[in-house]
Structure 1
């Protein structure tokens, strides 16, 4: 990529790699579990952070609250999550996995890890992948600190 800065090259590689990874993981999750990648991410988050608010998910994934709430509605319709009253704030609810949601998160998690091993592990190996983590974590942290890229609604 002659004539382009390191930042431009990094952006291009990050975005294209992320898009391909997300699509490939999503295709595998859809084929094996009938869910898309964004649904899996919500389930996985709730597995690790039980009784979260919709706003917590929205901030974590840098997605609007309206879109996050609709995503939770879809999971609730399928019986994978439920909303419970938030004792600290009557205007919000807490979202948690149901038993079928926990089962799905666990099964899809195995598929997710296997697909990452096939896609990332086979290309980079554990050592190279581990070396990239601090760099991406620092970039993500700086962006989060600035609230860069958060949707307005």
Structure 2
């Protein structure tokens, strides 16, 4: 088995999958897939800190904070001071954010169905899900998997 080809296929598929779903969400709902992912984390939690969003999405705190800033400007979420930690804030969905999550759900699901369920029989999709769960668990235990900011060269 050519592991480099497997890597290339996996990365290219993920990129095409992301871009296709992102384009459809932008067109039909006016939200990016990245923005929707942030909203979904906040929805599941009820309320959370930017650090929690970063951890849930495996992105940097700075990236999560910028995403929350954009969503807040669009009226989809709010920040309020954390009651026990003056250094952080609590992110919550607005009514508009909750509505956007509901509106985006069927679009997201139909894209997943077309791009994952339609081409693969249920057994193959189950094997793929199992294999990816094992691989993700393995990489999450690897210290190099932590997101680190890129440094600029002088």
TM over 0.5: yes
The answer to whether the Cα contact below 8 Å between 1:44 and 1:109 also exists between their aligned partners in 2 is: no
The answer to whether 1:62 aligns with 2:76 is no
Q: TM-score with structure 2 length normalisation?
A: 0.89
- Residue aligning to 1:150: 146
1:130 matched to which residue of 2? 126
Stretches (4+) displaced over 6 A: none
Instruction: Give the one of 103, 108, 111 matched to 1:112.
Output: 108
1:97 aligns with 2:93: yes
Deviates more, 1:47-56 or 1:16-25: 47-56
Q: Any idea what the Cα deviations from partners look like across 1:97-144, whole Å, max 9, x if unmatched? A: 111101101111110001110111111133321221121111111111
Q: Distance in 2 between matches of 1:37 and 1:112?
A: 9
Residue in structure 2 matched with residue 83 of structure 1 by the alignment: 79
Q: CA deviation at 1:6?
A: 4.0
Shift of 1:87: 2.1
SS in 2 for 1:123: coil
Structure 2: where are the runs of 5+ without partners? Answer: 150-154
Q: Taking structure 1 as the reference length, what is the TM-score of the superposition? A: 0.90
Question: Over aligned residue pairs, what C-alpha RMSD do you find?
Answer: 1.4
> May I ask how many residue pairs the two structures share in their alignment?
149
* Aligned mate of 1:10, from 2, 6, 14: 6
Higher RCO (C-alpha 8 Å, min separation 6): 1
Determine the structure 2 residue equivalent to 1:74.
Answer: 70
